[in-house]
Amino acid sequence: MKSHGRKIVLALTLIFAMLIVAEANAFEIGARGYVWFPDLKKSDIQTIADGIEGTDIDARDMLGVGNTATFSVEAYGGVGKNHISLMFTPFGYTTDNVLAAALNYNGINYTAGSAVHSDLSYSMFDLRYQRDLINMENILAGFSLGGIAQIKYSTGSFKLNSAGKVEQSNSFNSVIPMIGLGAHIGILANLLEVRAQATGGGYGSDNYSYEAMADLSLTPFPFLDIHAGYRLLQQKMDVNDYKMDTLYTGPYIGLSLGF
């Protein structure tokens, strides 16, 4: 019995080792860093206080919020057909402006002509899992297509202050499930490739997100990639009596170090 048991353990060990060897050439781990230059196409903010909806504040037109570069950092890894990554992207907008029209935020009225200070800051975390559905990496320059499951977590706050008034602040935490597709197209052996992915999802009509990004990647040295691409991100949330609807589009550049 003991001999039989040893044989089973040995067989399972050999099978496991063979699987590892078979997928060893598909093992990957690394990190990416991006600098993104988004054009803030839309940023509407609204609160509900004591059951009463405040003004739908257009942060660009009413508060003077402009475009600001940001960054993303991403850690990734994978074995065989399975890939996972975690990306962090912060946003921060601080402005001083004179209101051209009256508004209500968090139950407080601000009259036209008031000098206000606003601060919108939040962080976005994206956890992605991708499973390759088609993989022809060994044919021509390579091509793969995979399904993506993603969780987008956003946390932050919006503050508004004016002389003679108590600063008003609302914090928020949003979790949005998303699905999509990711593709890789090799153009020139292991030197030049195109990566693209698109995801979207949510729940209800007021909590959703859609995003897409595509870039051209150059590998001048082993383990080092240089990226240049374009990213679109729209997110709408309605949480904790706080509503926000944003839309960003713009180019980015980045570096990857992977093994």
pLDDT reading at 233 higher than 50: yes
Give the C-alpha separation, 161 to 153, whole Å. Answer: 27
Give the C-alpha separation, 154 to 151, whole Å. Answer: 10
Domain range summary for the chain, segments of one domain joined by +: 27-258
Q: Is 52 helix (H, G, I), strand (E, B) or coil?
A: strand
Residue 22: the pLDDT is 44
pLDDT digits (tens, 9 = 90+) for 25-36: 568 899 999 999
Residue of 33, 77, 84 whose CA lies nearest to 224: 33
DSSP 173-226: EEEEEEEEEEEEEEEETTTEEEEEEEEEEEETTTEEEEEEEEEEEEEEETTEEE
Question: Looking at domain 27-258, does it have CATH number 2.40.50.140?
Answer: no
Could you tell me the pTM of the whole model? 0.86
pLDDT digits (tens, 9 = 90+) for 4-19: 556 555 655 554 454 4
User: 169 versus 3: which is more confidently predicted?
Assistant: 169
Residue 137 — very low, low, confident or very high, per pLDDT cuts 50/70/90? low
pLDDT reading at 103 higher than 70: yes
Residue 259: the pLDDT is 85
Residue 16: the pLDDT is 47
Instruction: Write down the mean pLDDT value for the chain.
Output: 90
* Token pair recorded at residue 31: 């990190």
- Four-point Cα dihedral 225, 229, 235, 240, nearest 10: 40
Answer yes or no: are the C-beta atoms of 221 and 155 closer than 8 Å. no
Give the C-alpha separation, 237 to 247, whole Å. Answer: 12
pLDDT digits (tens, 9 = 90+) for 237-247: 999 899 999 99
